[in-house]
Every structure is written in C-alpha cells, then in structure tokens.
Chain A
Amino acid sequence: MFQEAQFTRIAEKYMDMIFRIAFHYLKDRAEADDITQEVLLKLYRTDKFFESEAHIRNWLVRVTVNCCKKACLSPWRKREPLDAYMDQLSFMTPEHSTLFYMIMELPRKYRLAIYLYYYEGYSTGEIAGLLHMPKATVATHLRRGRELLKEKLQQEEHSHV
C-alpha cells in the first residue's frame, strides 16, 4: 500500500497518461476524467506489490483499459460533442487540430494501439501483453490505423483544393 506522498507523486506523474488512454478509448472528456479518478482510486486502495515503476505504469494501463471497457457497457453514457472539447484545446497549428480530429475518427482499436505505440513508446510486443492480444494483431492495428489516417488526411486535403 502506498504512503500518501508516494501515491501523490505517482498520481501526478501518470494521471495525464490515464486520461489520454481513456480519452482515446471513450472520446469523451467527462468520462475520461471519471475513469482517471476511478483508476487512481484503485491504485490508492490496492494492496498489490509493485516490483518497479514500470510495473505500476503497466498496471495502470491495463486497469484503465479494463475500466473503459466496463464504462462502455453502461446504459447511462452521455457524450460531449468532440467539437466542444476541441474548442477548449489550444493546438499549435490548424494541421494539429485536423490530426486530432482525424485520429478520433479512427476505430477505437486503432486509436488505442497508436497512442500506446507512438505516445507512450510501448513496443508492439508490450502492447500485445497489455491488451491481451497477439503481437501480429497489434501490428495490424497500427498499420491499418496509419493507412486509414493517411486516407482521411488525403481526403481532407482534396476537399480543400
């Protein structure tokens, strides 16, 4: 069990990661915030022995994904339009804003694999372990996600020509 100071340090370090994973999964800020709180509360209460900080990080990823799956089963889901959230984010350029929108248009399984690979720096093998799926499936999700994204971005460019 964590001491409060230790928990606070870990929570502050990983809460954005949890939020981003949840947001990639659920596409809703309020739900992602709820999941972030839920996961941190689980961390606070767990008696699990962690061998290292990498162990904690992996555990948080797994628990976050599980919580997101559970949240999707709820009949009470409310969703904020993505545009409403985008309006509150400050992107560096319009291209950044477009990329955000296009990523969120991808199927969930591709979004999640892309986030874990390109943002968190996990290898395909590690993602396979975290999401309990074959490594080849992760590689396929990444490849298919990239292809779809490329198609969408090209369509976006053509629509502006």
Chain B
Amino acid sequence: MFDSKMYQEVFSSLHASEDTLDQVMKKAVRTGKMRRRLFPAFVVLLTLAISGAVFSGSARKSHGAWVFHGSRKEIEKMGVYCPEQLGPYRIDEQSADSFHMVSAGAGSLKAFFRPDYTWMSVSYEKNSRQSLSLSLGTMDHPLWADASGYDLENDIWNGRLYPETLTWYDEAQGSVSYVDHITEHTYQNCTIYLYDRITEYAGSADPAPPLTDYRDACAVWTDPEIGVWFGISPFCAVWEMDGDSYTYIREDEGVTKEEMLGYVKEIIDGCR
C-alpha cells in the first residue's frame, strides 16, 4: 500500500532556493531594460564582429553569391562579443550559396549570402522563449535584418512575431511590450507581419533633450520557398556608452510602413 502521508512528509522538505523570487525580479528588470536599451548596440556589436570574420579572408563570391567558409573557431569568436546571446551551434553543411547552421535542440536555419548582402550575423538567445536571429544587410543601407520566431510548444521555427516576448521593463508600468500595431500582409506566398517598434532615443541636439519614444516600422516573415525566416528593422541611431548604460542618439527618421513593405518585397524577390 502506498503511504501517501509519508510521501508528502518526504517531499514537503524540498523547497526552492530562498533567493528565487529576488533572482526572478532581477532578471525581469535586467532583461527588460537591456532589451530596450541594448538592442541597437547589440546589433552593432554582432555585426562588426561577424562582418570582421566574413571579411578576414574567409568569404568569397561564388556563382553570384557570398559563401562563408569560416571555421567553427572563427564563428566562435562571435561569442567573445556577446557570449550570452550566442549559444551552441554547429555548421551542418555548406553549399555554393548557403550554409546551414543548426542550433542545439532546435530547428535548422539556412543562411544565405547574396551579392546584395555584404555581411551577416547570427545570434542565439535562450531566455523565456528561445529565439535565433539572422541578420542580413548591406553596409550602406540603414536596414538591419534579423529573423526570429521559435515556437517553443511545437519546437519549430515559424517566423511569427511573439509580441509577448518583446517587452521591456518600466518601473511604473512593469513589463511593457515594445511592439505595437501589428498588421498581416501576404506577398509571394509569404505572410509578412509589419509592426511598430517603440524605442526610447535621445535627440541629436546638444545638450540632448529628454529621452523620447519613437515608433519605427519593422517586419518579420518567413519565406517557405527558400526556408529562411527574416526580420528587418531600421537602424536609426548611434549609441553612446556611459559606464554600464547606453544612450541612443537618433539620427535618422526611419521608414514608413509602406516603405518597409516595399523593402520586404524587394528582399523576397531578391532572395528567390
């Protein structure tokens, strides 16, 4: 006979660590603030890091496309810059116009290099929802692309937007989404999600005026034909570091949703 009373007595002695709640609140505050404050800097760092790797002799043009022949070690250098964002991965296979990266425990992502895209970055983040972002872009274009959308429950990459995970922490309001006004569009069999990203920037005047919320049109979509998930967002600011915090000075007005949709269509057409 199972002694349920004794069983309960045994397991009532198990408790979560005393600092669990403190840790949760710290993480909630830290990730919320960091996401809002560090996102553009994070993109810059990763991009510089990886474009360095790409141009250090390991990238070449072939059949009209950029091919990356980086060693695992070279790619691992990326982790030096953003060790928390980069996770375990391996290069799965290479072909003339792409290589495959597989993140541990997740789906595979095929990264393409095209003549138009002179650099690439990949980040891998593991927090409340795993997400992998792939950046494709041109050095002279204020568009930065990243792909996200890992469906934890179904264990697949689907390119969808998860606004509930895109939040920052406000001491007065708590967790606040920085994504707003999501609209859906269809083009060439791709479902495109356009949205406003709300970011806090300082103006470019000197002395800098108070931080202001700006809305920028961004987009994410998945292209089922080539098996790549994309996201693009305008990069309109430079960042200044002051101790541990960053301030963004807005220098560009970004793009409208209509313009953004036009860029998305260009990329879809260009990648096929």
Where the two chains meet, the residues of A that have a C-beta atom closer than 8 Å to any C-beta of B are 1-4, 8, 11-12, 15-16, 18-20, 23, 32-33, 36-38, 40-42, 44-47, 66, 70, 73-76, 89-92, 95-96, 99-100, 103, 114-115, 118-119, 146, 149
B1-39 contacts to A (CB < 8 Å): 2-4, 6-11, 13-17, 20-21, 23-24, 27-28
Contact A74 B27 (CB under 8 A): no
Shortest beta-carbon distance, A4 to chain B, in Å? Answer: 7
Q: A42 vs B167: C-alpha distance in the bound complex, in angstroms?
A: 12
Q: A114 vs B3: C-alpha distance in the bound complex, in angstroms?
A: 12
B57-116 contacts to A (CB < 8 Å): 88, 104-105
Q: A115 vs B20: C-alpha distance in the bound complex, in angstroms?
A: 22
Where the two chains meet, the residues of B that have a C-beta atom closer than 8 Å to any C-beta of A are 2-4, 6-11, 13-17, 20-21, 23-24, 27-28, 88, 104-105, 127-128, 152-153, 164-165, 167, 174-175, 177
Shortest beta-carbon distance, A42 to chain B, in Å? Answer: 5
Contact B174 A40 (CB under 8 A): no
**Interface residue from B9, B11, B17 paired with A33 (Cβ < 8 Å):** B17
Contact B16 A42 (CB under 8 A): no
Shortest beta-carbon distance, A32 to chain B, in Å? Answer: 8
Contact A70 B152 (CB under 8 A): yes
Q: A11-B24, A33-B17, A66-B152 are in contact. Are A146 and B2 (CB under 8 A)?
A: yes
Contact B175 A44 (CB under 8 A): yes
Contact B23 A73 (CB under 8 A): no
- 11 pairs, A vs B, C-beta closer than 8 Å: A1-B174, A19-B20, A20-B11, A37-B27, A40-B20, A42-B128, A44-B24, A45-B165, A45-B167, A96-B9, A118-B2
With a CB–CB cut-off of 8 A, which chain A residues contact B2? 118, 146, 149
Shortest beta-carbon distance, B164 to chain A, in Å? Answer: 5
Shortest beta-carbon distance, B29 to chain A, in Å? Answer: 10
Give the interface SS of chain B, mostly helix, strand, loop or mixed. Answer: mixed
Q: A15 vs B11: C-alpha distance in the bound complex, in angstroms?
A: 14
4 residue pairs, one from A and one from B, having the closest CB atoms: A19-B16, A73-B105, A15-B16, A40-B24
**Interface residue from A8, A11, A12, A100 paired with B10 (Cβ < 8 Å):** A100
Q: A44-B24, A103-B7, A118-B2 are in contact. Are A91 and B16 (CB under 8 A)?
A: no
Shortest beta-carbon distance, A111 to chain B, in Å? Answer: 10
Q: A36-B20, A41-B27, A44-B24 are in contact. Are A16 and B4 (CB under 8 A)?
A: no
Contact B174 A3 (CB under 8 A): yes
Contact B21 A4 (CB under 8 A): no
Q: A73 vs B155: C-alpha distance in the bound complex, in angstroms?
A: 12
Q: A12 vs B21: C-alpha distance in the bound complex, in angstroms?
A: 8
Q: A47-B164, A75-B88 are in contact. Are A37 and B20 (CB under 8 A)?
A: yes
Contact B27 A92 (CB under 8 A): no
Contact B16 A38 (CB under 8 A): no
Contact A15 B20 (CB under 8 A): yes
Q: A15 vs B177: C-alpha distance in the bound complex, in angstroms?
A: 25
